[in-house]
Amino acid sequence: MRIKHLLCTVAIVFFSFAASAQTKVGTVNINIIVSKLPEIAQVKAGIQAYEKQLQSDLKIKLDAYGKEVEEANKAFATMTEEAKKKKQQEIFELESDIQKFRQNAAQLAQLKQEELMRPLYKKVGNAVATIAKEEKFTQVFTLDGNELAYVDPLFDITLKTAKKLGLKVD
């Protein structure tokens, strides 16, 4: 019985080593590479311009609201009840529009950032895939967000990916 148990254990260890010998795992820090791409300056400028446009749009809405309230306050004394209700409804709709715009502005900015960053991540992803194929990696994990207990630095292809893209990473 002990011999069978020993042989079974040896077989499991042998197959474990054989299986692990067939895989090659690498890691890459994509955010470091993306931050070094020359296109990142253009993306940041695009995001800032979009946020500035959102602020400008909000200012226009706030100015229109302020003007509407000011005009309503001046005219309220001479308005009929029906005209007052109509004006109050218009002001309420402007307030609601401003509130919705403020709520959506952060989401719109995030969507714009993702849209502008997508080509950069695709470019780096393609370079990672090329290196992984060239060097016969079976898996490459990102270090951005994955929690790993230990990674042998020999398998980190961040520098090779940056070099492939013509970037210098310290």
Phi/psi for 98 (5° steps) reads -65, -45
Contact 135, 154 (CB under 8 A): no
Task: Based on DSSP, count helices (H) and strands (E) in the chain, helices before strands.
Answer: 5, 2
In this predicted model, what pLDDT tens digit does every residue of 36-60 receive, in sequence order? Answer: 999 999 999 999 999 999 999 999 9
User: Mean pLDDT across the stretch 86-115?
Assistant: 94
- For 1, 31, 111, the CA distances from 44, given in Å and listed in that order, are 68, 14, 14
**Which of the residue ranges 18-22, 54-58, 74-78, 160-164 would you say has the lowest mean pLDDT?**
18-22
- For 21, 22, 38, 43, 156, the CA distances from 131, given in Å and listed in that order, are 19, 18, 21, 25, 11
In the chain, what are the domains?
2-164 (3.30.910.20)
pLDDT at 118 over 90: yes
User: Mean pLDDT across the stretch 89-98?
Assistant: 93
User: Mean pLDDT across the stretch 66-70?
Assistant: 92
